[in-house]
Copies of this chain bind each other. A is one copy, B any other.
């Protein structure tokens, strides 16, 4: 639930894909989220557990199925508290970069 948990959860491409899939269609079952992923169900379960620990998804048990719902709030919080900080000074920082690194390759 900490900011670090959210960053770590977002670090894995498979977990970002899971969030993307839930963004496209919310409330999917575990089985649905496992399809076409070239990975065992247990691996996906672990990823979902990490996403849930970071409060990025919430789950609901319906009968024998488990439904998964995207929670965009922590992502918003990160954008707000951390990324925003770098964007506010963006133009200034870019100008500084240009001045200080004049002539360097843009690798």
Contact = CB atoms under 8 A, between A and B. Distances in A.
Interface of A: 1, 4, 7-8, 10-11, 13, 16, 19, 23, 26-27, 55, 58, 60, 67, 69-73, 75-76, 78-79, 82-87, 89-90, 93-94, 96-97, 100-101, 104, 107
Contact of A83 (B1, B11, B73, B78): B78
Instruction: Report copies per complex.
Output: 2
Give the 7 A-B CB pairs with smallest separation, nearest first.
A11-B11, A72-B86, A79-B83, A75-B86, A72-B90, A8-B11, A7-B11
B27 A100 contact: yes
B69 A90 contact: no
A72 B58 contact: no
